[in-house]
Amino acid sequence: MDHSDVMSRAYERLNAGDVDGFGELVADDFVEHEELPVPASGKEGVLELFRMLRRAFPDMAMSVEDCIVSGDRAVARVRCTGTHQGEFMGIPASGQRTDMQLIDIMRIEDGLIREHWGVTDMLALMQQIGAVPTPE
């Protein structure tokens, strides 16, 4: 199975709000290298993160703009959009539309996501929902 296919199916399931279906693509011994704003770690942590995100941004959509596969890794540059309709990290819903960039690196083995490294433009997100002032 092509690693870009696994990555694409992961985004498709998350875009559909199917966090449990996404979990089927994540190994039980999954390792998350990006610090998450949820108390759990590993597979449960990443699933809880997406449950929290779907509550805060129910129309969240991730669109892969570039995908590069090398060896057991797939790297994607992703545009993530949504509307802030629920509490997010203690910040009440603002109703604001959001648009941010992120980079995901996934190590895939036997058709499962085994590790993840990520970089998310959290400053842009926090500015867009009004939690951080935007410079003039």
- Inform me whether the pLDDT recorded for 134 exceeds 90: no
- Every domain of the chain and the residues it spans: 3-128
Euclidean distance between CA atoms 16 and 116, whole angstroms:
21
pLDDT digits (tens, 9 = 90+) for 80-130: 999 999 999 999 999 999 999 999 999 999 999 999 999 999 999 999 999
Q: What is the pTM of this model?
A: 0.92
Euclidean distance between CA atoms 60 and 24, whole angstroms:
20
Lowest mean pLDDT among 26-40, 60-74, 111-125: 26-40
For 126, the token pair is 């926090």
Nearest CA-CA partner of 125 in 65, 84, 92: 84
As a CATH number, domain 3-128 is: 3.10.450.50
DSSP per-residue codes, 79-100? EEEEE--S-BTTBPP---EEEE
Looking at residue 1, its pLDDT comes to 63
